[in-house]
Homo-oligomer: A and B are copies of this chain.
Amino acid sequence: MTKNKFDSFAITAANYEALTPLSFLPRTALMFPDRRAVVYGERSYSWQEFYDRCKKLASALNKIGIRKGDTVAVLAANTPEMIEAHFGIPMAGAVLNTINTRLDAETIAYVLGHGEAKVFIVDYELAPQAKSALEIHGDSDLIVIDILDLQNTINPGVLGSTDYEAFLASGMDTFQWQMPTSEWDAIGLSYTSGTSGRPKGVVYHHRGSYLMSMGTITDWDLPRHPNYLYTVPMFHCNGWGHAWTMTAVAGTMFCTRAIVPEDIFSTILEHNISHFGGAPIVLSMLLNSPAAKGFVCPHTVELMTAGAPPPASVLQGIEKLGFNVTQVYGLTETYGHTVMSTWNSDWDTLNDEQRSALKARQGAAMVQTAGMRIVDMESRQDVPADGKSIGEILIRGNTVMKGYLKDAENTEASLKNGWFHTGDLAVMHPQGYAEIKDRLKDIIISGGENISSVEIEGVLHKHEAVSLAAVVALPDEKWGEVPCAFIELLDGAAVTEKEIEVFCRAHLAGFKRPKKVVFGELPKTATGKIQKYELRSLARSGRLN
């Protein structure tokens, strides 16, 4: 490409600044110093106080030698310290590695080692599993800092030589921290939950986290000064980046150590909560809570939910309580939500059932997402937008990870041909709205037909005796593969394979019906996810026949 007259300009410090969500904080602290930034029970910090604490954290980390590219790991609940970590750690030039609090000690030790953590900040409640992890990890150079929740008298164990508040006090709020030199610099490290094999370390950069915030503000219609209840665990894709996003719009973040429906309802009323997020299980918990009975919300609460689509009955029930649910889809590799079921006002006139079906779709590519495609698994061509043809979801854009840490092979494989390969299977509806059908490795290909294990599981879950169901492929001489169902029954329930077969006949096309049903407890990970790969290898072993 030859240079033209518009290409002769030098990039200068006057007209180029690395994009980073850290830029939101000094601005909001300057403009709204006295507004509340973070509230946690009786504790609350104004934006000036919060910024000062973040600067102290950065300063304290700097004092103990933390520099650019170092990893600081945090194992904590959604308390103010966790939000401060999202600013103070990258303000020191370091990379924030939030660790899933539900992991077993061995996996935590693996993460600490693989991520090369130099500092490990641990919430007092998680001290027991952290202690075991440290013993396995065995690196005596790792600096451990304890978060002691001052509202609790229980203290299961102090692991480090210093506690968080004392550490903060060693820093200075006059610390001259630096913005990143490049927007491609790493800001976060998040490990995938890893249903099979070792978890992979997903690396985020400043540019991505900045654009994630701007995209969320735009597509979630986020106004200035939302009251945000932080129920999304901050170890999941940095709580979808909301700590940064809420800072850009000078919101107030309400922390909660645990998800208790009664507390959520009372917090909504007491603090005029306008926005919150949660997995579909949170929606069910709210709806099934006795507190839901008397709940009347005087204002609409915006609720962002990700993960498996909530059943229509849950959606309708939760909306009647005063919540407006927005379904999103994304992965750790896409900084969280990258697709959103943005409501189209053309749908206003539809009935409840139709509306729920539309709301249960994962949605269209968000504004920060450069592209979403669903491609046929054979031809790799886009499937038609017919709501039927299943293909793999591909994503590209600035909120796709840098890659997997120290894993060039998986990085290249997942980012090949200019697209991130999600491994999720979906159909495309008109107007760019996708609907997830299955994980790629969970699809069953029978006589050339793609069968969604999710669809079959959905049917099985409707049976009154079924507690949990998982469907995988069973090798079959004639069809290649056929569906095989593993079912965990409710306590005291009893049902035969034949009864399940009859039930499925009423709800599923012939080729989709399980050809084999196995009853028993299902194998699960430490975080409660069903280990389908174990069921798959069991099915492949031939031991079922």
Chain A residues proximal to chain B, CB less than 8 Å:
1, 4-17, 19, 23-24, 27, 30-35, 68-70, 95, 116, 181, 184-186, 189, 203, 208, 211, 214, 217-219, 221, 223-225, 248-249, 342, 344-346, 364-365, 367, 370, 395-398, 400-403, 405-406, 408, 411, 415-420, 431-433
Residue on B with the closest CB to A189?
Answer: B6
User: What B residues does A225 contact at CB under 8 A?
Assistant: 345
Cα separation A130 to B432 with both chains bound (whole Å): 44
User: What B residues does A219 contact at CB under 8 A?
Assistant: 224
Residue on B with the closest CB to A179?
Answer: B370
Taking a contact as CB atoms under 8 Å apart, the answer to whether B397 and A15 are in contact is: yes
Taking a contact as CB atoms under 8 Å apart, the answer to whether B405 and A5 are in contact is: yes
Cα separation A248 to B366 with both chains bound (whole Å): 10
22 contacts between A and B (CB under 8 A): A1-B181, A4-B69, A5-B116, A7-B69, A13-B396, A13-B418, A14-B400, A14-B416, A14-B419, A15-B397, A15-B398, A15-B415, A16-B398, A17-B397, A23-B370, A27-B432, A31-B433, A32-B344, A33-B431, A34-B346, A218-B249, A221-B224
User: What B residues does A6 contact at CB under 8 A?
Assistant: 69, 95, 185-186, 189, 203, 402, 405
**Is chain A's interface secondary structure helix, strand, loop, or mixed overall?**
loop
CB distance from A292 to the nearest CB of B (A): 29
Taking a contact as CB atoms under 8 Å apart, the answer to whether B15 and A431 are in contact is: no
Residue on B with the closest CB to A11?
Answer: B184
User: What B residues does A214 contact at CB under 8 A?
Assistant: 214, 217-218
Taking a contact as CB atoms under 8 Å apart, the answer to whether A248 and B367 are in contact is: yes
User: What B residues does A342 contact at CB under 8 A?
Assistant: 31, 224
Taking a contact as CB atoms under 8 Å apart, the answer to whether B16 and A364 are in contact is: no
> Given A15-B400, A17-B397, A405-B5, are A367 and B27 neighbors across the interface (CB < 8 Å)?
yes
CB < 8 Å neighbour of A1 from B68, B116, B431:
B68
Residue on B with the closest CB to A69?
Answer: B4
Cα separation A10 to B205 with both chains bound (whole Å): 13
Residue on B with the closest CB to A20?
Answer: B370
Cα separation A117 to B1 with both chains bound (whole Å): 20
Cα separation A432 to B26 with both chains bound (whole Å): 11
> Given A32-B344, A221-B223, A418-B14, are A9 and B411 neighbors across the interface (CB < 8 Å)?
yes
CB distance from A201 to the nearest CB of B (A): 10
CB distance from A513 to the nearest CB of B (A): 36
CB distance from A66 to the nearest CB of B (A): 12
Cα separation A33 to B364 with both chains bound (whole Å): 13
CB distance from A212 to the nearest CB of B (A): 12
Taking a contact as CB atoms under 8 Å apart, the answer to whether B432 and A31 are in contact is: yes
CB distance from A222 to the nearest CB of B (A): 8
The 4 closest A-B pairs by CB, nearest first: A4-B69, A13-B418, A6-B186, A17-B370
CB distance from A210 to the nearest CB of B (A): 9
Taking a contact as CB atoms under 8 Å apart, the answer to whether B248 and A344 are in contact is: no
Taking a contact as CB atoms under 8 Å apart, the answer to whether A364 and B9 are in contact is: no
Taking a contact as CB atoms under 8 Å apart, the answer to whether A203 and B15 are in contact is: no
Taking a contact as CB atoms under 8 Å apart, the answer to whether A365 and B33 are in contact is: no
Cα separation A367 to B249 with both chains bound (whole Å): 9
> Given A27-B367, A203-B9, A367-B27, are A17 and B415 neighbors across the interface (CB < 8 Å)?
no
Cα separation A414 to B12 with both chains bound (whole Å): 11
CB distance from A366 to the nearest CB of B (A): 9
CB distance from A308 to the nearest CB of B (A): 23
Residue on B with the closest CB to A405?
Answer: B5
Taking a contact as CB atoms under 8 Å apart, the answer to whether A17 and B396 are in contact is: yes
Taking a contact as CB atoms under 8 Å apart, the answer to whether A365 and B27 are in contact is: yes
CB < 8 Å neighbour of A217 from B69, B218, B406, B420:
B218
User: What B residues does A181 contact at CB under 8 A?
Assistant: 1
Cα separation A23 to B400 with both chains bound (whole Å): 17
Cα separation A248 to B16 with both chains bound (whole Å): 23
User: What B residues does A14 contact at CB under 8 A?
Assistant: 395-396, 400, 415-420
User: What B residues does A432 contact at CB under 8 A?
Assistant: 27, 30-31
Cα separation A35 to B23 with both chains bound (whole Å): 35
Cα separation A415 to B16 with both chains bound (whole Å): 11
> Given A30-B364, A420-B15, are A402 and B9 neighbors across the interface (CB < 8 Å)?
yes
CB < 8 Å neighbour of A69 from B5, B223, B403:
B5
User: What B residues does A208 contact at CB under 8 A?
Assistant: 15
Residue on B with the closest CB to A187?
Answer: B6
* Additional pairs, 17, CB under 8 Å, beyond known A5-B405, A12-B418, A31-B431: A5-B406, A6-B95, A7-B185, A14-B417, A15-B403, A15-B415, A16-B398, A19-B211, A23-B367, A30-B432, A32-B344, A33-B431, A217-B218, A218-B249, A219-B224, A224-B342, A248-B367
